Structure formats: C-alpha cells, structure tokens
Amino acid sequence: MRAIDRQIIANTARRLVANKRTRRRTGLYPLANLFLFITMRCNAKCDHCFCWQDLNIGIPELTLEQVDRLAETVPPFDILILTGGEPTLRRDLPEVLAAFAKRRKASVLRINTNALFPDKLVRMAEDFKAEFPDVGIDFQISLDGLRETHDRIRGVPGNFDKVIESLRKLWPLQEKYPAVAVNVLTIINSMNYRELVELNDLLRREVSPAVYQGFEIMRDVNRTAWNILPEIREANVAPKSNMDLPPVEDFPKIVADLERINEGSPYRADAYRLHTIATLRMIATGKPQFPCVTAGSAVGVIYSNGDVAHCEFTKPFANLAQFDFDFSALWQSEAAWERRGQIRCCHCTHGSFHGKAVEYSWRGIAGMVRQAL
C-alpha cells in the first residue's frame, strides 16, 4: 500500500475512534461539515441542479452581521462549505470568509463554484492568503463533461473554457501558499456518464496529473432516497424533467470507469470514491450501503434565509432568527433533537452525508483498505 493511502486510512481511523468517544459522551458526533447556502442567486442554469426552483426568486440572504453572529456561536469544526446558488455572486464573500477565519472556527473554508469568474477566484484566494495564511481555503470547481456536454448541462456557452481557465490559474496557488486546495466535482447523470474517463484524462493533461476529481450521482429525492417520513420529506429537491440518472444496465461500466480513474489517482483510498461506487449499488438495489449517521450530527445545513436542516432531503426544522442567530443553541434545541429522532429510518445517495458516512463506519474503513491495495 502506498504511504499516502496508509496515512489517509490511519487518520480516518483515528478520527473515528475519537468521534465515537465524543458521541458516547454527548449523544452527537462533533460538528465536522457545515453547508452554508450563502445565496440563492445563480448565473448558470444547470439541468441537474437540485435546487433550481429556488434560484433567482428573491429568497433572502443572511446579512453580514448575521453571518458574523453565526461564526461567533458555532463550535469549531472542520469544513465550512459555502454553496448556493453561486457563492461568488455575493460581493461580500471575502467578508463572509473572514468572519469564520478570524475566529479560526473552521480549519478549511470551501467555495463550491461554477467557475465563471476565474480572475475573481484567484484574487479572492490571493487576498485571503495575505490575511489568513494559516487557514485553509479550498475551491471545489464543478465540471460535468467535455466542452459540449458541460456547456449544454450548465446552459452557459463558454462555461467549460472558464472552468479550465480557473483550474489553470488556481492550480499553481497550491504551490505558492500553504493550505490552498483545488478540486473538481463531477455530477454523474444520463448526459455525461459515457465520458468520465475521457474527462479525467483531459484534466490530467490540461491541468495536472495530480488533479483530484470527485464524482457524485445526481441528487433527486424521488429517485435516490428511500423511507423519508412524508411529513419531513423535501419534495422539490430534484433536477429538471429533462435530466435522468444513467440507465442501471450501464452501472457496471460506470463502476469500471471510476475504478480506472481511481487507479491513477493520487488518493486511491479516498472515502468519497468508495461512496460513489456504493451509491450506484444503492440505486440498483434500493438497499442502504453505509448507515447515515452524520446528518444532524457531524453535518448540518443552513439555507440563505437562516433555515436550518439536518440534510437537504428533509425539511428545515428551525430558523436561526428564532435563536438570535446562535447556532449552538439551535443545534441543541428540542426541535433539533426531535428531528434527529425522525431521520433514523431513511437512506439516500446524497454525497455530503453518504460520503461522510463511509468515514464513520469500520466497514467503510475496511473498504478504504481494500480500495488502496
């Protein structure tokens, strides 16, 4: 086994032991990932977007003052994921980052972006590093296919070229500064599943052989989630009607392609890769793969209007405004605990939770070892 894989697995196992100890003591895993939908404005029109019905309809956004209060009251955690909508459309995004960075609340601040503004991303990274050299900043760039496919899925001509430009400009910052990371995320769907290997080859050629590309299956509460109680199910979390999952009969080919990509990856043991393959099994059989233990515990979701949910497939249970924007008070509230009791019987492919679930089970860690050998 390669040293890097051994190191990833050992760190994951150590974290799991510590996290289980905390859960025994407090009833919850320590908060690890917090998703913050910082805006519901977007400049793309993706066919696979699971929140397209909420975009650009004037949903309110947390003010900077409210974000500041959130950053003050949240316990320290691993990764703040700024998402939306397109986070870079918020002019005060640097101030949002600073609110968490100055308090050292998250080890890494991640920006999920469609990368339509390459220079803005580079400027933001440079400015952030000048002020907070020791806080991690991570760019997760969406790329869903080769040029024609990507632009068609995203509904934005020229988006593919902007993504490649962004990747080429951001990539060298990882050498220049500590704690900068650049990743690519591809959402697998009926339009792009045939070109995954070609896309990965292109990234290695055009950006770097060390490029990290994660994959996730398109989210759809109707087709990739099971047994959510009807009263808490978020019925609108689904793509546009022209977008489908790849056909089940082609899943073996997708698994083979992902394994081939994984073979050449610098991080072969990665839990996220294991999760992607397991989700295909889940869709094909309808059976759970790794138990969802992180929603409402290690992972939480905050929407741009202050609503809070344990995951995006279930309805919000409270709004930050009810708790004077004190996240810890909300997270320990009766409503939060009641909802935790309601999400014990469901399972789904949602990568933000299922991906994490791999790291929170010994079966997942055993799978990571097998993957690395």
Contacting residues toward ligand SF4, per CB under 6 A: 42, 44-46, 49, 52, 84-86, 114, 225, 228, 292, 295, 310-311, 313-314, 343, 346-348, 350, 353
Q: Which residue has the tokens 């060390």?
A: 210
Name the minimum Å distance from CB 311 to ligand SF4.
Answer: 3
Name the minimum Å distance from CB 281 to ligand SF4.
Answer: 15
Q: Which is nearer to ligand SF4, 9 or 298 (CB)?
A: 298
Name the minimum Å distance from CB 298 to ligand SF4.
Answer: 11
Q: What is the DSSP letter of 314?
A: B
Q: Which is nearer to ligand SF4, 46 or 97 (CB)?
A: 46
Q: Which is nearer to ligand SF4, 261 or 292 (CB)?
A: 292
Name the minimum Å distance from CB 204 to ligand SF4.
Answer: 24
Rounded Cα distance between 64 and 95, Å, is 8
Q: Identify whether the C-beta of residue 146 lies closer than 8 Å to the C-beta of residue 205.
A: no
Q: Cα angle vertex 310, ends 314, 237, to 5°? A: 35
Q: Which is nearer to ligand SF4, 290 or 325 (CB)?
A: 290
Rounded Cα distance between 342 and 225, Å, is 15
**Buried residues in 192-223 as b, exposed as e (16+ CB within 10 A):** bbebbeebbebbbeebbeebbbbbbbbbbbeb
Q: Which is nearer to ligand SF4, 68 or 86 (CB)?
A: 86
Which among 371, 344, 340, 339 has a CA at the least distance from the CA of 358? 371
User: 106-113 and 136-142: which strand pairing?
Assistant: parallel
Name the minimum Å distance from CB 259 to ligand SF4.
Answer: 25
Name the minimum Å distance from CB 303 to ligand SF4.
Answer: 13
Which among 72, 14, 141, 86 has a CA at the least distance from the CA of 304? 86
Q: Which is nearer to ligand SF4, 174 or 342 (CB)?
A: 342
Q: Identify whether the C-beta of residue 44 lies closer than 8 Å to the C-beta of residue 141.
A: no
Q: Which residue has the tokens 């591809």?
A: 186
Q: Which is nearer to ligand SF4, 72 or 165 (CB)?
A: 165
Question: Strand, coil or helix: what is 134?
Answer: coil
End-to-end CA distance of the chain: 5
Q: Identify whether the C-beta of residue 309 lies closer than 8 Å to the C-beta of residue 301.
A: yes
Instruction: List the alpha helices (DSSP H) in the chain.
Output: 3-26, 64-73, 93-101, 118-131, 147-154, 159-170, 173-176, 196-206, 251-263, 271-285, 327-331, 334-342, 351-359, 362-372
Name the minimum Å distance from CB 258 to ligand SF4.
Answer: 21
Q: Which is nearer to ligand SF4, 110 or 350 (CB)?
A: 350
Name the minimum Å distance from CB 226 to ligand SF4.
Answer: 8
Q: Which is nearer to ligand SF4, 73 or 140 (CB)?
A: 140
Name the minimum Å distance from CB 276 to ligand SF4.
Answer: 15
